[in-house]
Amino acid sequence: MTTKELISNSNRYIMNTYSRLPVVLVRGEGVHVWDSDGKEYLDFLAGIAVCGLGHSNPLISGAISKQAETLMHVSNIYHIEPQIRLARLMVENSFADKVFFCNSGAEANEAAIKLARKYAHENMDKGRYRIVSMKNSFHGRTLATVTATGQERFQKGFDPLPAGFGYVPFDDLPSLEQAVTEDVCAVMVEAIQGEGGIRVPADGYLEGVRKICDDRGILLILDEVQTGMGRTGDLFAYEASGVRPDIMTLAKALGNGFPVGAMLATDRVAASFTPGTHASTFGGNPLAMAAGISVMDALLNGGVLDNCREMGDYFRRKLNELKAEHAFIREVRGRGLMLGVELSMEGVDIVNGCMDRGLLLNCTCGNVLRFVPPLIVTKVDIDHAVDILDEVMRNL
């Protein structure tokens, strides 16, 4: 099929939930992808912070194909060897004692919400069930997670939404303090807001959230679906603060492109999930676990996190140089290789112009260019990307 035919079939057969760019990506290697016409792109979106170790990474692909030839799926009513190995790796390298595996970020957050409710029913005063999350947040698209998502545009048309959620502005401790009333059982927050425009809270914010939770005896749920797995230069973003959450969710980069989600918790909280309380047919399936194990191995034993920090600093410096050149750049922000460039105008023309010139990125909130390249990106790649950006910005 020609590209034109592919796109026309895509529009004919696939539900219209995305406004898709007119490109069909068919192959990837490292930081590059190719479309159905053979055109090469530098991929600074990486499946939206998913392919942290680059496209078609032979370590991950090798582990997946080897597992596919050994055992692809068995039920969770049996113990699953690769699941045990990945859970142990995650526990030994985080605050958590126990892991629940699922298949996406929304599912991980859904599990977190259910666990918090269950824990509250069993351990807190009666009538504590509400979850307070942040305005401008993003937690997923299931009914509960879209309700936790503090953005009306994602909720419109889906009411009645589940009861028991409330919102406060992000990075605003006094508002949170006020919002945590007698009926609240947990606070749910991203370490850095991703879909909300790469918003990094002030130093001490997470510590403040932790303190409010501790003072009121409620749970802290940290959504690290986007910030986790090395994206910010640490394995998990919370490590940069002194804070340990009670529950943490992961997905995106955990399988480097293979769908995997995880919800981690301390023993105290995890004890509320007992047989029959929550489950997933595919969650923790051997193939997904093989992907996750190889990702964890690569992050723990290679120089990937160091590269992320160094390249993050370098890229940020380069973006700030662009800021000095272009008056419409308001701010460069982020941490590690999760960077945003806020514009004083819409970003769509820049995204399209970059795509024409062979650079993929996207735009959140209409005016924040988002850069989440593979963590193995090099200076040469960054220089190339910044040259394309500069050229596009000059030609606007």
Kindly state the smallest distance separating residue 362's Cβ from ligand PLP, in Å.
Answer: 12
Contact range with ligand PLP by CB under 6 A, out of 67-75, 89-97, 190-198, 319-327: 190-198
Q: Which two tokens stand for residue 230?
A: 């090395």
Amino acid identity for residue 104 in this structure? S
Q: Among residues 225, 287, 288, 369, which is the contact residue for ligand PLP, using CB under 6 A? A: 225
- Looking at beta carbons only, is 233 or 389 nearer to ligand PLP? 233
Contact range with ligand PLP by CB under 6 A, out of 198-206, 218-226, 282-290, 355-363: 218-226
User: Radius of gyration of the chain from Cα atoms?
Assistant: 21
Q: Among residues 43, 110, 171, 195, which is the contact residue for ligand PLP, using CB under 6 A? A: 195
Kindly state the smallest distance separating residue 375's Cβ from ligand PLP, in Å.
Answer: 16
Kindly state the smallest distance separating residue 37's Cβ from ligand PLP, in Å.
Answer: 28
> What is the C-alpha to C-alpha distance for residues 284 and 347, in angstroms, rounded to an integer?
38
Kindly state the smallest distance separating residue 286's Cβ from ligand PLP, in Å.
Answer: 20
72-111 positions binding ligand PLP, by CB under 6 A: 104-106, 109
Residues 215-225: b if buried by 16+ CB within 10 A, e if exposed: ebebbbbbbbb
**What does the DSSP assignment read for 209-263?**
HHHHHHHHT-EEEEE-TTTTTTTTSSSSGGGGSS---SEEEE-GGGGBTB--EEE
Check residue 283 for interaction with ligand PLP (CB under 6 A): no
| Sign (positive or negative) of CA dihedral 378, 383, 388, 394 | positive
Q: Among residues 171, 190, 246, 381, which is the contact residue for ligand PLP, using CB under 6 A? A: 190
Find out whether 311 and 379 touch, Cβ atoms under 8 Å: yes
127-156 positions binding ligand PLP, by CB under 6 A: 138-140
Kindly state the smallest distance separating residue 107's Cβ from ligand PLP, in Å.
Answer: 7
- Looking at beta carbons only, is 190 or 246 nearer to ligand PLP? 190
Kindly state the smallest distance separating residue 45's Cβ from ligand PLP, in Å.
Answer: 13
Residue 289's nearest CA partner among 325, 262, 322, 326 is 262
Total residues binding ligand PLP (CB under 6 A): 15
- Looking at beta carbons only, is 337 or 388 nearer to ligand PLP? 337
> What is the C-alpha to C-alpha distance for residues 373 and 331, in angstroms, rounded to an integer?
19
Q: Among residues 94, 147, 226, 307, which is the contact residue for ligand PLP, using CB under 6 A? A: 226
Q: Measuring CA to CA, how many Å separate 88 from each of 85, 91, 92, 288, 296? A: 5, 5, 6, 15, 11
Binding string, 236-265, against ligand PLP, x = CB under 6 A? ---------------xx-------------
> What is the C-alpha to C-alpha distance for residues 358 and 351, in angstroms, rounded to an integer?
10
Kindly state the smallest distance separating residue 228's Cβ from ligand PLP, in Å.
Answer: 9
Q: Among residues 223, 234, 246, 381, which is the contact residue for ligand PLP, using CB under 6 A? A: 223
Residue 54's nearest CA partner among 242, 253, 248, 197 is 253
Half-sphere exposure of 95 (CA within 13 A, CB side): 23
**What does the DSSP assignment read for 378-392?**
-HHHHHHHHHHHHHH
- Looking at beta carbons only, is 105 or 286 nearer to ligand PLP? 105
127: left (phi over 0), alpha (psi -120 to 50) or beta: left
Interacting residues toward ligand PLP by CB under 6 A: 104-106, 109, 138-140, 190, 194-195, 223, 225-226, 251-252
